[in-house]
Amino acid sequence: MDQVLNNILIPRVVGTSGHDKVQNYIASQLRKWGWDVEIDEFQENTPNFGRLTFKNIIGTLNPKAERFLVIACHYDSKYFSSEDFIGATDSAVPCAMMLNLIKVMKNDLEQIKTKRDLSLKLIFFDGEEAFKEWTKTDSLYGARHLAKKMDQTNFYTLDNENIKNIQRIDIMVLLDLIGFSRPQFYSFFKPTERWYIRLVDAEQRLAQMGLLNIPQLTFNRRSSNSYIEDDHIPFLLRRVPILHLISTPFPTEWHTSADNRNIVDLQVTENINKVLRIFVAEYLHLLEEEQFEENFKAEL
């Protein structure tokens, strides 16, 4: 995690050299671990920088699979005229978590690389942040573009059924504002509550087995009615099931210069990494309940 963060914890505003550097790094890491990489490149007008080029990074374990567990975050950082904003929790750490996940789980994921029924897809959205003021047109640039594109392109299943690419998303797990010392997660959507509870249960099992780095629970067995605009919205509007892992309340350092490496708590973040690995393993049927302690204790 630490080494990966060294390559992402820099200002990465769309259209800058730092942004290009991080985009190239993420894509190269995905290719390094044997993933198919697609760069969803497009241009769109912005309120203060004219027309900019955006690049969503899409890593897929098996592009021919019919359905996907999608894990996503954004990799751009917010523009401030007065300073170079780092955005450690927003969202450099989530990017590093996703890359860490496929590295640690490489051998497990290799076992299902050719499976056609269900696979894993990682999406690193570009242009989540507003350049001037958060509006429907100045925010979520990458998510809006990709959701529309996936809704307008098709895929033929093994049964020769013609479906939209967006229908291939079983569930989207969106990570945001993660990396500081006291994150708290809740279930935001009733349709995915049962999957959120799997995260709660996984964390509790880790705690009972003494496998958490520090004995601190972050997944609450409660729901929240908070409405948070994030990269999931364009997909939610197209009926994609969403599991939103964003800390509420937001960290006090949110959108300030203090959201930098100094607030990153690697022990807490690694706890969340462990929970995510279990969730992915269970969702992709890499891990049955009775195999949990035997197969995963050493790896975690």
Those residues whose C-beta lies under 8 Å from the C-beta of residue 71, and which sit 6 or more positions away, are 98, 101, 120, 121, 122, 123, 172, 173, 175, 276, 280
The answer to whether residues 26 and 92 touch, using CB atoms and an 8 Å cutoff, is no
- Name the residues annotated as catalytic: 128, 176
Q: One-letter amino acid identity for 63?
A: P
The 3-state secondary structure of 59-127, one letter per residue: EECCCCCCEEEEEEEECCCCCECCECCCCHHHHHHHHHHHHHHHHHCHHHHHCCCCCCCEEEEEEEECC
What residues form DSSP beta bridges with 244? 174
CB atoms within 10 A of CB 210: 8
CA 16 – CA 40 distance, rounded (Å): 18
HSE of 82 in the Cβ direction (CA atoms, 13 Å)? 4
Helices (H), the chain: 2-8, 17-32, 93-104, 106-110, 141-152, 193-208, 233-236, 266-283, 292-296
The position carrying tokens 């959120």 is 196
User: For residue 169, which of 67, 285, 287, 299 has the smallest C-alpha distance?
Assistant: 67
Q: What angle do CA 173, 193, 167 make, to 5 degrees?
A: 50
Tokens of 279: 């969730």
